[in-house]
Structure 1
Amino acid sequence: MIDAERLEQVAREELGYLWGDLNTARQNAIRGQWSIQCDGIEDRIKALTALVGPTPWDEIQISLLESGIYQRIHAELGIEVAPDMERVTQVRENSSSRVRRSS
């Protein structure tokens, strides 16, 4: 018998990992933009998102939020997401100030 709750949990976890993979693939792409690898990961994100819904924005890498990639992918699926961009900016500033202090 299939455990539907466990299956959904695993799909959500995998979706979270895929967002991290997309962030890494984007960083490794020429000029840090986009690559064929990014396209493949995006397709997998879309497939799982259609099944289990969006990953909460506060679990997504800041660069994917700032660049609008998270928002674009969901818009293409017809899913409205509303990251708190003010909070994203605060997190980025806090992160940047910690890096400066440790240097």
Structure 2
Amino acid sequence: MNELETLRAAVRNELELLWGDLERARERALNGEWSMQCDFLVERIKDLTRLVGPTPWDCVGPLLLEDGTYQRVHAELGIEAPVDMVAIARHRAGDAERYRRR
């Protein structure tokens, strides 16, 4: 891997981590919805996404996919980032079933 590929991989990894940070910031937001921290993280996500493209949807927490945050961020950048909502629903249903069996 050359230096440019290494840098791109590092940026992609950072983007994935930022999406996780955003999901946690949403959970901790005073109103449970959004905060200034969320705004800050979205701007960082946008900056890095402009450099390397979108983080794959399956690397982002389901909350940010289900509420449209992931889609909105990419739409604001003019970047297509389709999400397989059927796969997400199946995953959630599987989680609910495993929880129910406990």
The answer to whether the superposition gives a TM-score over 0.5 is yes
- TM-score w.r.t. length of structure 1: 0.94
| Counterpart amino acid of residue 101 in structure 2 | R
Aligned residue number for residue 43 of structure 2? 43
- TM-score w.r.t. length of structure 2: 0.95
Aligned residue number for residue 54 of structure 1? 54
| Counterpart amino acid of residue 29 in structure 1 | A
Q: CA RMSD in A?
A: 1.1
How many pairs are equivalent?
101
Alpha-carbon displacement from aligned partner over 1:51-80 (angstroms, at most 9, x marks no partner)? 000001111100100000000000000001
Following TM superposition, the consecutive aligned residue runs of length 4 or more in structure 1 with deviations greater than 3 angstroms are: none
Q: Mind listing any 5+ residue stretches in structure 1 that lack a counterpart? A: none
| Cα distance between partner residues in 2 of 1:19 and 1:25 | 10
Give the share of equivalent positions with the same residue, in percent: 51
Aligned residue number for residue 27 of structure 1? 27
